[in-house]
């Protein structure tokens, strides 16, 4: 969020809005003030970042500088927040396009897309939702691909609590164990599978608390309100290691791989900028970032 | 039928929460409203502002700070732990305390307005008839402010039923303990179970409509006094 604003502030506005400018001039529109800059709102955990043109006067000057730049409206699963900000900054710098990203849970984003949200591509937290969007005609056929494979960790804000084998789940009595809602969040479902395969689900069920998304689950644990929680590795990994607290990387054989798929949506079908972004996600530059945040690649 | 059971549990829990909160708010809110209505203290503005704060603050902000305050490192959390009560997040008691704070203005303000509308005169008249302050309060002020109490109780109840952001932040979505209707509804929508979501949402609409109809139909207009 901050970085989007910063870039607008330091004079790069000139590269950003020509497409919009052309549209505006192409179909003459009343109303001088072409809009405000940067409306940032927070609704629940959904962030809407939008940067809109200053004024038509400025835009006329702008058109000459670069004709290819465009805006891409993107819906991104909450767990991919941190890497997406890095990738977005690089992509904007490399391509001159501008990304408008809405973060939210995959279920909510699905509901919004099915009800006419203007997103041009979705980066989901699972593979089912993109498949469903394709089936229902909201996604473009044959554009699905796995952009990241999520890793589950058992994490505590307390640096001494979690051992490197996850034995704490079996041995100690725990206050609260936070998971993401297994009905709606793939990381929550993976946590349930892992506990079942470890044979501890029966013992742990009474102390489970659910976050509505993996982001909220992380918050429960970070605040200490829940002693332990299953979160995404991407949330606790900084360059090269666990940032704070203690964690156990849950072995792959304890849960089904969390394949996070992206899909081009019908609203982005004929937009080169959107296609460029999806291609960029598969570039080595983006993949470096994705790996650094603790995801695997297909 | 099976899929309706969690919904019923959520409805029951919500009604229980709203009832407990409303009763406690009438007990806590009445003295605050009385004080705000009568005092000439310079603190009146500050206290009034604190009471009204939840009207302005987004519930997620309040919920986030409550989560931190009630957690093991927060002041409230330390207090409850030292009292041997354990931690409040993810418990029914935690929801009650959060709701008390969040619904406070909806109870205090109507009662305060009703007290203010009475004016000095009836109270002074009662005092000249040798009623003590306690007697004046119960025999004159409270009956005259009845419409304010009714509005406050109904608004407090309804607002607690409709609460979502805070419960989501500190509740932990535990069936039969913290999973209230609004959270259950949100879950249905998130899980794309739109049919069940419609039932619950429709039920809530109907409930709210009935409550408000009752409020407007049965609440007598304030009597003319003075």
Residues in chain B with CB shorter than 8 Å from the CB of A44 are: 60, 165, 168
Least confident stretch, A9-18, A139-148, A201-210, B14-23: A9-18
Question: Domain check: are A274 and A133 in the same one?
Answer: yes
CA angle at B20 for the pair B18 and B26, rounded to the nearest 5°: 95
The ranges assigned to domains in chain B are: 4-218
Residue A254 included in any domain? no
Question: Domain check: are A163 and A239 in the same one?
Answer: yes
ipTM computed for the complex? 0.72
Question: Domain check: are A145 and A23 in the same one?
Answer: yes
* Angle of helix B4-38 versus helix B181-190 axis, rounded to 10: 130
CA angle at A73 for the pair A69 and A74, rounded to the nearest 5°: 125
pLDDT tops 70 at residue B82: yes
Domain that holds residue A67: 2-149+260-292
Question: Domain check: are A137 and A6 in the same one?
Answer: yes
> Each residue of B24-50: pLDDT tens digit?
999 999 999 999 999 999 999 999 999
Residue A112 included in any domain? yes
> Each residue of A182-231: pLDDT tens digit?
988 889 999 999 999 999 999 999 899 999 888 889 999 998 899 999 99
Interface residues on A facing B, Cβ-Cβ cutoff 8 A: 42, 44, 105, 107-108, 110-111, 175-176, 178, 181, 183-184, 208-212, 216, 219-220, 223-226
Shortest distance, CA A103 to any CA of chain B (angstroms): 14
Shortest distance, CA A292 to any CA of chain B (angstroms): 29
Question: Domain check: are A51 and A105 in the same one?
Answer: yes
Is B191 within 8 Å of A210 when comparing Cβ atoms?
no
Interface with chain B: mutation pick from A225, A227, A228, A230, highest number of B CBs within 10 Å: A225
Kindly state the average pLDDT of the residues A35-57. 39
Q: How many Å apart are CA A199 and CA B162, to the nearest integer?
A: 39
Kindly state the average pLDDT of the residues A24-41. 36
Residue A255 included in any domain? no
Is B172 within 8 Å of A184 when comparing Cβ atoms?
no
Least confident stretch, A15-19, A226-230, B70-74, B190-194: A15-19
- What's the confidence (pLDDT) of residue B6? 80
pLDDT tops 60 at residue A16: no
CA angle at A131 for the pair A130 and A133, rounded to the nearest 5°: 60
Question: Domain check: are A204 and A280 in the same one?
Answer: no
> Each residue of A129-160: pLDDT tens digit?
999 999 999 999 999 999 999 999 999 998 88
Is A210 within 8 Å of B172 when comparing Cβ atoms?
yes
Question: Domain check: are A101 and A26 in the same one?
Answer: yes
* Residue B81 region by backbone torsions, left for phi larger than 0, else alpha for psi between -120 and 50, else beta: alpha
Is B90 within 8 Å of A225 when comparing Cβ atoms?
yes
pLDDT tops 50 at residue A246: yes
Question: Domain check: are A131 and A274 in the same one?
Answer: yes
CATH class given for the domain over B4-218 = mainly alpha
Residues in chain B with CB shorter than 8 Å from the CB of A108 are: 189-190
- What's the confidence (pLDDT) of residue A6? 35
Kindly state the average pLDDT of the residues B143-161. 92
Q: Per-residue confidence at A67, pLDDT binned at 50, 70, 90?
A: very low
Query: What's the mean pLDDT when you consider all of chain A?
Result: 79
Question: Domain check: are A58 and A99 in the same one?
Answer: yes
> Each residue of A263-294: pLDDT tens digit?
999 999 989 999 999 999 999 999 999 999 88
**Which of these, A61, A101, A51, lies nearest to A78 by C-alpha position?**
A101
pLDDT tops 60 at residue A45: no
Nearest CA in chain A to B164: A44
* CB proximity list for A70: less than 8 A, separation 6 or greater: A19, A97, A98, A271, A272, A273
Number of domains composing chain A: 2
Q: How many Å apart are CA A287 and CA A148, to the nearest integer?
A: 9
* CATH number (domain holding residue A83): 3.40.190.10
Question: Domain check: are A213 and A117 in the same one?
Answer: no
- What's the confidence (pLDDT) of residue B103? 94
The tally of CA atoms less than 13 A away on the side-chain side of residue B123 is: 16
Shortest distance, CA A207 to any CA of chain B (angstroms): 9
Q: Per-residue confidence at A59, pLDDT binned at 50, 70, 90?
A: very low
C-alpha torsion sign, points B105, B106, B111, B113? positive
State the pTM of this model. Answer: 0.73
| Alpha-helix residue ranges (DSSP H) falling in B39-91 | 44-56, 59-70, 75-82
Kindly state the average pLDDT of the residues A243-261. 91
- What's the confidence (pLDDT) of residue B224? 52
Residue A297 included in any domain? no
């Amino acid at each position: 969020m901050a970085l989007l604003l910063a870039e607008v502030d330091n004079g790069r506005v000139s590269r950003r809005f020509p497409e919009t400018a052309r549209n505006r001039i192409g179909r003459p529109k009343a109303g001088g003030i072409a809009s405000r800059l940067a409306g940032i709102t927070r609704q629940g955990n959904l962030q809407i970042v939008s940067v809109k043109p200053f004024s038509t006067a400025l835009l006329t000057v702008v058109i000459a500088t670069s004709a290819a730049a465009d805006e891409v409206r993107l819906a991104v699963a909450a767990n991919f927040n941190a890497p997406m900000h890095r990738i977005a900054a690089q992509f904007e710098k490399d391509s001159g396009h501008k990304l408008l990203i809405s973060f939210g849970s995959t279920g909510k984003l699905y509901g919004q897309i099915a009800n006419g949200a203007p997103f041009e591509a979705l980066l989901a937290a699972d593979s089912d939702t993109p498949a469903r969007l394709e089936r229902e005609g909201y996604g473009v056929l044959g554009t699905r691909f796995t952009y990241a494979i999520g890793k589950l960790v058992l994490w505590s804000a307390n640096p001494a609590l979690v051992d490197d084998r996850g034995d704490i789940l079996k041995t100690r009595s725990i206050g609260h164990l936070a998971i993401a809602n297994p009905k709606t969040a793939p990381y929550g479902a993976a946590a349930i599978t892992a506990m079942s395969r470890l044979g501890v689900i029966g013992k742990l069920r009474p102390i489970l608390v659910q976050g509505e998304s993996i982001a909220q689950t992380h918050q429960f644990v970070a605040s200490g309100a829940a002693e332990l929680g299953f979160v995404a590795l991407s949330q606790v990994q900084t360059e090269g290691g666990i940032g704070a607290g203690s964690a156990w990387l849950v072995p792959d054989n304890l849960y089904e791989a969390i394949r996070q798929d992206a899909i081009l949506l019908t609203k982005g079908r004929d937009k080169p900028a959107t296609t460029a972004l999806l291609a960029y996600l598969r570039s080595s530059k983006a993949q470096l970032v994705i790996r650094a945040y603790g995801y695997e690649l297909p | 039928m099976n899929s309706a059971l969690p919904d019923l549990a959520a409805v029951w829990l919500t009604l229980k929460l709203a009832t407990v909160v409303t009763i406690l708010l009438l007990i806590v809110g009445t003295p605050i409203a009385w004080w705000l209505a009568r005092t000439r203290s310079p603190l009146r503005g500050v206290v009034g502002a604190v009471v009204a704060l939840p009207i302005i603050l987004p519930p997620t902000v309040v919920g986030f700070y409550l989560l931190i305050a009630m957690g093991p490192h927060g002041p409230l959390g330390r207090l409850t732990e030292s009292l041997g009560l354990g931690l409040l997040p993810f418990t029914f008691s935690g929801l009650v305390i959060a709701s008390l704070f969040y619904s406070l203005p909806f109870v205090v303000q109507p009662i305060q307005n009703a007290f203010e509308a009475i004016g000095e005169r009836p109270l002074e008249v009662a005092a000249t008839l040798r009623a003590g302050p306690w007697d004046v309060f119960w025999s004159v002020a409270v009956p005259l402010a009845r419409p304010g109490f009714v509005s406050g109780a109904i608004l407090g109840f309804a607002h607690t039923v409709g609460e979502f952001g805070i419960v989501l932040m500190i509740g932990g979505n535990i069936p039969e303990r913290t999973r209230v209707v609004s959270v259950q509804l949100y879950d249905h929508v998130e899980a794309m179970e739109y049919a069940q979501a419609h039932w619950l949402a429709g039920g809530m609409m109907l409930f709210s409509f009935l409550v408000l109809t009752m409020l407007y139909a049965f609440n007598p207009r304030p009597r003319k006094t003075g």
